[in-house]
Amino acid sequence: MSLSVFVELRFWVLVVFSVVLPAGIYAALLATRAISRMAVLGFGVALVLIAGVDVYLLQSLANVARTTPSLADDAVFLSELSIALYVLPVVFGGIGVNLISHILLRHLSEAEARFDKEHPGGP
């Protein structure tokens, strides 16, 4: 049993998945002047997966925080402040779903246009 969750590997993985990876994805998206649909789809899926990993790690760390003697990790992971920690995964998941939705809507619009072109005067 560790004395604090802040020395756990899971905590540092949470930091990487909550800060480093999303910042890298956002920087790549903002810095790119041209990007393929598959890349946008990949970034969207990655953000949704990051959100899922974040929620899992937050729950896992909250369970560990219950067993540690440290009051600092209780204040972060077991108090009302922990609700604020869930804002990041919600944002990442929301943006990821929007990126995926954007790709799907563009594909469907183009498929409808092709159908209309191939079947003039249709239903």
Nearest to 29 by CA among 110, 98, 86: 98
CB atoms closer than 10 angstroms to residue 77: 23
Dihedral, 112, 105, 44, 94 alpha carbons, nearest 10: -160
Does the pLDDT value for residue 69 go beyond 90? Answer: no
Rounded to the nearest angstrom, the gap between the alpha carbon of residue 58 and the centroid of all alpha carbons in its chain is 13
Q: What is the CA radius of gyration of the chain?
A: 20
When comparing pLDDT for 46 and 65, which is higher? 46
> What are the distances in angstroms from CA 108 to CA 41, 45, 75, 102, 118?
15, 19, 48, 10, 15
Whole-model pTM: value is 0.81
Q: Which of the four pLDDT bands, split at 50, 70 and 90, describes residue 64? A: confident
What's the rounded Cα separation, in Å, for the pair 123 and 109? 16
What's the whole-number mean pLDDT along residues 86-109? 94
Instruction: Supply the pLDDT for residue 63.
Output: 83
Q: What pLDDT is stored for residue 99 in this prediction?
A: 94
Q: Give the position of tokens 């619009």.
A: 109
